[in-house]
Structure formats: C-alpha cells, structure tokens
Amino acid sequence: MKLVSVGLSDLSVYAPRPRISLSQLAARRIQENPDLEKHLHRALASTGQISMRFPEIWEDPITMASEALRKLLSGQLEHHLSGIRFLALGSETSVDMSKSGSNYVLGLLQKAGFKLPSSLSSFQLQHACAGGSLAALTTLAYLQAAGNPNDSSIVLTSDIARYATPSTAEVTQGAGACALWLTQDPKVLTFDLKTAGFFSQDVDDFFRPLGSTTAKVRGGFSLSCYNESLLSAFLDHCVRAGIEPAAELRSIDIFALHVPYAKMPVGALEKLFALHLGFDSLQTREYLEERGFFASLKPASEIGNLYTGSLWLSLGYALKERWVNLGPDLIGRKVLLASYGSGNTMAVWTGQVTPQALSVIPNWDFDTLLKQEPDSDWTTYLEWVSIEKNSQNYPELLKKKPAPAGAFRLARLREDGYREYDQA
C-alpha cells in the first residue's frame, strides 16, 4: 500500500513581552555576590545567550499556547477547522497533574469564538523538551494510516524554563509557545516517518521533582547526554534509511536541532561531523554556515529556552532564512530534524520542502517576534522568579498588573486549585 505524504503545513510562535538582557542579569547578580563573576561570565560565553523572555503575571503555559494557536488560526487553517482530529500539547511545565493542558486551550479558544470542533482527541505528551515532537510524530502516523485527506492535527508546545536563582543555569531560562498544523499533502515540509531514528536511556541529567517550579540540571552531564543521543539516534535513522551516515550528512541542506541555548547544538554537530566525515571544528562550522544554520540559533539566543518549542522555533527561523536567500531554489531541499528530551530520548528524522512552502513561509513574521523589547526592570524580574501564585494572592496580583484587552489570561485560581481562563 502506498503511504500518503504527511508533514508540516504551517506554524506560529508566541513569546511573552517581558525581557531581560543577560548582561543586566549578570551585573545584578555579581553586585549581590562578587564570587559569581567568573562563573556567570563563563556561562554567558559558553552558551551564547543574549537575553531571555519571561511571562507576565497573568500568563502561563495555557495562555501562551492559546496565543500561539490564535496566530495559527488566523492563517490558512481558519478554513479547515472541521477536519482537526487531534489537539495535542507537548509541555514539561504542566498546570494540572491530571487534565490535559490542550483541553484548557480548547475551552478557552471555543469561548473566544473560534470554531474548533469537539469531535477530536485531546491529549498531552510529556518527555522533557521532546514532548511536542513526539506528539507531532504520533499524530502524523495516525493521519498517514487513516488516509483521510481532510484530517489534520494541531500540536502545541508551551513551556516556561525556570531554574534556581541565582545560578549559572539562570542564563538559560526562557518562555514561549509554538503551534503546528500537521496534515496530509503538507504545504511546507513532508516528513519521512519510516526512517525516523530513536534513542532512549534512563539518566538524571535534568528533571523537575513533583511540586517544584524549578528544574534540576547537571549541566556538563546533560551536554554529554545530548551529544551521545544525537550520535545514536542519527545512526538508527541511517540504518532504517539504508544509507551510510557520511552520505546522509552530505545530503542535508538544512539542519534544525533542539536549542536549549545557542551553542549547544553546534558542539553536538561538530562531534557528529567529526565521527562520520572527519571534519574538524572549522570545517564543520563552514559547512553549517553555507547552509544558514547559525541564523537559526538567533531566536533562541534572544528569547531563551522554549523547552518543547525550541526545535520548532529554530526550524521556522531556518526555513525563513533559507527562503530569503534561496527563493524558489528552496523547493526540494532536505531538512534534518533532531529533538532531544532530557531524561532522556532523542528523535531524528528528515523532511523535504514542498513547492507550496513558497506561499506559506513568507507569512511567518519573525521580525516582529524578535523585535527587541525594552529591558524589564529588575524588580519585575525578581517578582517573576519569587512569586508563587495561589487563590489568596492572585486577585491582588492581577489587579496590580492587569492583562490588556483581548489577551488570553489566567483569570482565577480557585481555592480547590482549579485554574480558570478567559479573555481580558
């Protein structure tokens, strides 16, 4: 039986407005504790991070996912709502230990007047930063097996990356959400599901204990886990594709990887190219530069770590940059995607740019997304890292910093812990 093509037809990205430059953050932390100076300067140099975004008081993973989906629904998807069969959320910063965050999003969008159907499956998938990618691959497999040309899937990624403060990990925080529209005969990228490569093992490189709002990370160990997972999953992909790793690497035109911070995927690719092509660091960087790879790291360096959304933010920016530089020559280009989830798992698969992409990619407004917001004041940042919202203090917090009209917001925290959302 011939399988129908499936893949990505559109995407959108949302990032909250509050921003802090990491030079300001470092200066403040060093002022508080001069012993941190060497460690923070080394962290900034090794990560390549410039600034980060963090949510408003009234924002959380549900409101950010809803904003990303609202942007997606304003495009081509608006005319295909009845065919949506899945609304899935990948997140590692859940707001509920039982109810799927995607159902909160569904209810909020329906109340706001969007005609999302209820005849769909809603679920949440968690595996650190790989949750959104695994949800995408899972729902695409269903679309391919079902073979109904009208069926489609929406996958949301939404996360808030938080670490203990002050610490060197503080410079790799961030927040944001992505929304993906996945279909048969996709308009941007066709994915080859048959040759997807995987790797998983039980490690403690990164985790967030129950009840904790901050993640625990073993930086050096997590880096080595990322590198090993990429090597292993890429090899599994090559075995399934029946191609030598060196030949596969040379066939790739665009690389899109999970980007927890700007320099992390660069080191991983240097190891991959050294192993299979014998490249040194300079040769690898030149090879990647020719393919526009470093431009795809820019949004992560300015917005910060989106956890489950970081791969898709990087992919969107890479495709937009290649469209600007290649124009119609972008059609048919081969893309390698690699999604890492700490704890850990890695998925590696390929895609191919479709002719219709030339009418979709120009609509992705990343210039507005990355428009540099003025630095938030230090007090606002400290509020975010210190305040724990509850039913008692939240009404006053919301009164002090109300959401703008039309914004999706966390409206109430009930005494029983349930979260209620609406449009401001």
The model's pLDDT over 168-177, given as tens digits with 9 standing for 90+, comes to 999 999 999 9
Give the percent of the chain with pLDDT over 90.
91
| β-bridge mates for residue 229, sequence order | none
For residue 229, pLDDT over 80 is answered with yes
133-151: per-residue pLDDT in tens?
999 999 999 999 999 999 9
Least confident of 55-59, 163-167, 248-252, 277-281: 163-167
Query: What pLDDT is recorded for position 1?
Result: 63
Instruction: Supply the pLDDT for residue 76.
Output: 75
**Does residue 72 carry a pLDDT above 90?**
yes
- Does the structure show a pLDDT above 80 at 373? no
Q: Is the pLDDT of residue 354 over 80?
A: yes
Question: Stretch 9-27: mean pLDDT, rounded?
Answer: 96
Would you say residue 91 has pLDDT above 90?
yes
Stronger pLDDT, 1 or 305, i.e. the higher one: 305
Q: Read off φ and ψ for residue 356, nearest 5 degrees.
A: -70, -15
Interval 334-357 mean pLDDT = 98
260-301: per-residue pLDDT in tens?
Answer: 999 999 999 999 999 999 999 999 999 999 999 999 999 999
Q: Is 183 exposed, middle or buried (0-12, 13-18, 19+ CB in 10 A)?
A: buried
Residues sharing a CB contact under 8 Å with residue 258, sequence separation 6 or more, in sequence order: 129, 130, 226, 265, 310, 311, 314, 338, 339, 340
Per-residue pLDDT averaged across 225-245, rounded?
A: 98
Residue 413 clears pLDDT 90, i.e. is over it: yes
Identify the structural domains of the chain with CATH numbers, from first to last. Answer: 6-378 (3.40.47.10)
Number of H helices, E strands in the chain: 15, 16
Q: Is the peptide bond before 344 cis (omega within 30 degrees of 0)?
A: yes
In this structure, what are the phi and psi dihedrals at residue 156, rounded to the nearest 5 degrees?
A: -110, 145
What number is the average pLDDT over the span 399-410?
96
pLDDT at 28 over 90: yes
Reference 328, options 306, 355, 347, 348; nearest CA is 355
Is 232's pLDDT higher than 80?
yes
Tokens, residue 47 = 């990560």
Residue 51: predicted pLDDT: 96
What is the pLDDT, as a whole number, of residue 286?
97
Confidence at residue 370, expressed as pLDDT on a 0 to 100 scale: 86
User: What is the predicted pLDDT for the residue at 213?
Assistant: 87
| Share of residues in the chain with pLDDT > 70 (%) | 100
What is the model's pTM?
Answer: 0.97
Averaged pLDDT, 220-245: 97
Q: What confidence score (pLDDT) does residue 74 get? A: 87
Mean pLDDT within 312-326 = 97
Beta strands in 110-188 (DSSP E): 121-125, 152-161, 174-184
